[in-house]
Amino acid sequence: MTMQIILELMAVICNTCGLPQDLCACGELNKDSNQIIVRLETRRFKKKGTMIEGLDPKLNDLDSVLKELKSKYACGGTAKDGYIFLQGDHRDTIKNTLVKFGFAESIIEVH
């Protein structure tokens, strides 16, 4: 009985840094270590779209980021295999929007 109480009181330890889970900052550090590339892509019938590559689906919830971007830019889009595709050319303002979402400005490269 006392062993069960001791196990309940122990904090969950992060495997990467060894700190308790509530103090761990590994997710934020990994968010800053990626390289995000934003480029314009032309699809069928000369339709232009903004491709955002380099987002790690394990660290970022791509669906929530996509939902916020689609709402802000009032456009359609999709998230698959670590990239987000938005309909239309949004290269001029996408960097500021991603910075507001918590990504570092230095890792975002716009082509």
Question: What pLDDT shows up at residue 29?
Answer: 55
Residue ranges of the alpha helices (H) in the chain?
2-9, 26-33, 62-73, 91-100
One domain for residues 2 and 46: no
Number of folded domains that form the chain: 2
One domain for residues 15 and 54: no
Residue 104's CATH number: 3.30.780.10
Q: CA-CA-CA-CA torsion for 9, 29, 86, 110, nearest 10 degrees?
A: 170
Tens-level pLDDT at each residue, the chain (111 residues) = 555 555 455 567 776 666 776 666 665 555 555 789 999 999 899 999 999 998 877 777 889 899 999 999 999 999 988 899 999 999 999 999 999 988 888 899 999
What does the pLDDT look like over 44-70, one tens digit per residue? 999 999 999 988 777 778 898 999 999
Question: What pLDDT shows up at residue 20?
Answer: 72
Question: What pLDDT shows up at residue 7?
Answer: 47
3-state DSSP assignment of residue 110: strand
Q: How many other CB atoms are found less than 10 A from the CB of residue 1?
A: 4
Domain that holds residue 96: 34-110
One domain for residues 40 and 5: no
